[in-house]
Structure 1
């Protein structure tokens, strides 16, 4: 197990290196002068030259890259071109909000998707099954931003309710924190639930056809024990795979939802930095998201062995 974990952690090196190369050089080929964008059209040549020098933009591109990566290797992601603050603390502060939103969305998704998926798998081709399949298809098909907009409009016009603006930490005020995050979490969780629901249904159907399930039923086991103690446990591996992928995607894909609900998360930070051409923040945020995504996949792989003792890592 430990040897497997070490190998997977070593695999982080080429993955993060590739991500760093792609994001760094992609930003450098975007047309336009970064210094001009930051200082505006009225800036003097001396001011532009000084800004380029301060951020190393006057250096060759390869030298800029190795200088940036040298800092990353020791935990220094550089300074924001806009604010002058260190990039990493800003990323970590914003990431806490995005992470909380992603986890709450995932919990909502599991509460909705797994029970309905199990019911649909047990009652195959019934009215309940068709209803669940339609719900899951709607969840997968409706874009997040459209659902968020409709939800806000319905609440505002019908109940004169509008989502709270800003963010309050969970430990500062748990009730206020939940009020702020519940609507965006419902929007994201609904989209996640569609895919998890479909995967749960198909996995349950496949497991229920297995010989060991027929053997357990033949021994007189109660149907509830057959479903939850045996079928669902064995069906959780593909379900866990798609859940892990969705959480990873959520951590980097909440940009629009955070913008709609005015949440100061990592997605909003990236979007603002793109609009402001703040290269150091964009580079650091994308690299950090890639790191978290890979670590979530590693955690999911390790959970496989817990769910199925036959799976071992050497």
Structure 2
């Protein structure tokens, strides 16, 4: 296992190298003058030239890339072209909010999806199964931003409630923090739950057909023990795969949800950087998100071996 983890960590190098080249070139081929976008149409030629020199925009792409990567390797992601703030501390601060949002959404998703998915598998082709499948189908079909918008409209029109604006750290004021984070976490958790619910149902159904489940039942084990101690554990690998992908995506920033609820998370930071053509912000953020996504995949792979002893990484 240790050698496998080391190999996977070494694989980070070419993956992140490829991502860095891709995002660097993508930001350069977007039409328009970066300096003109930042300073506006009324900027003088001298001011435009000074900004280009300040951020090395007059240099060749190769030299710009080498300077940027050299800084990243030493922990310097550069400064924002808009406000001059260092990019890495800003990413870390905003990632804390995104991380909390992801964890809360994941907990809500698991509480809803896994029990209902197991119930649908056990009650296959019954009214309960049909109801759960219908709900999950709606959840998969409706985008989370549409669900969030409708939810906010209902709360505002019928309950005269609007969510608080801004963000307060959990350690500063736990109750205020949970009040702010509950609705966006609920929206993301509900949409995550739909996909996990469908996967749980199909995976548990497949395991329930296997011979070892019949053997467990023949030995007189209680149905609850058969389902949760034997069937569910052996069905968790495909469920864990989709959960890992969802968590990796959300840790990269729930862009639209953060925008709708005015949460200053990593997704909002990236979106703002893209709209403002802030090259250092977008490049650093995407590279950081890629690193997080690869690490989540590594953790999921390690959990595979824990859940299924037959899996042996060499």
- TM-score, normalisation: structure 1: 0.99
Dislocated runs of 4+, deviation >3 Å: none
Deviation per CA, 1:148-176: give whole Å up to 9, x if none.
01000100111111001000001111111
Conserved? CA contact 2:253–2:268, under 8 Å:
no
Deviation per CA, 1:114-168: give whole Å up to 9, x if none.
0000000001000000001001101100011110010001001111110010000
Deviation per CA, 1:83-105: give whole Å up to 9, x if none.
11110000000011011101111
Deviation per CA, 1:208-231: give whole Å up to 9, x if none.
011110001001111111001100
| Alignment partner, residue 185 of structure 1 | 185
Alignment partner of 1:241 is 2:258: no
| Alignment partner, residue 297 of structure 1 | 297
Provide the rounded CA distance (Å) in 1 between the counterparts of 2:123 and 2:172. Answer: 45
Alignment partner of 1:4 is 2:33: no
Conserved? CA contact 2:37–2:276, under 8 Å:
yes
Provide the rounded CA distance (Å) in 1 between the counterparts of 2:205 and 2:10. Answer: 38
| Alignment partner, residue 250 of structure 2 | 250
Deviation per CA, 1:269-297: give whole Å up to 9, x if none.
11111111100000000000000000000
Deviation per CA, 1:26-66: give whole Å up to 9, x if none.
11011111111111111111111111001000101111011
Q: Which SS does the other structure have where 1:165 is aligned?
A: coil
Q: Unaligned 5+ residue runs, structure 2? A: none
Instruction: Calculate the aligned-residue CA RMSD, in Å.
Output: 0.7
Provide the rounded CA distance (Å) in 2 between the counterparts of 1:219 and 1:42. Answer: 82
Alignment partner of 1:85 is 2:111: no
Conserved? CA contact 2:253–2:266, under 8 Å:
no
Q: Which SS does the other structure have where 1:287 is aligned?
A: helix
Q: Which SS does the other structure have where 1:269 is aligned?
A: helix
| Alignment partner, residue 270 of structure 2 | 270
Q: Which SS does the other structure have where 1:166 is aligned?
A: coil
Q: Displacement, 1:252?
A: 2.3
| Alignment partner, residue 220 of structure 1 | 220
Provide the rounded CA distance (Å) in 1 between the counterparts of 2:21 and 2:104. Answer: 33
Provide the rounded CA distance (Å) in 2 between the counterparts of 1:159 and 1:210. Answer: 50
Q: What are the within-5 Å matches in structure 2 for residues 30-109 of structure 1?
A: 30-109=30-109
Alignment partner of 1:229 is 2:254: no
Provide the rounded CA distance (Å) in 1 between the counterparts of 2:63 and 2:286. Answer: 20
Q: Unaligned 5+ residue runs, structure 1? A: none
- TM-score, normalisation: structure 2: 0.99
- My pick for the range that moved more, 19-28 or 38-47, is 38-47
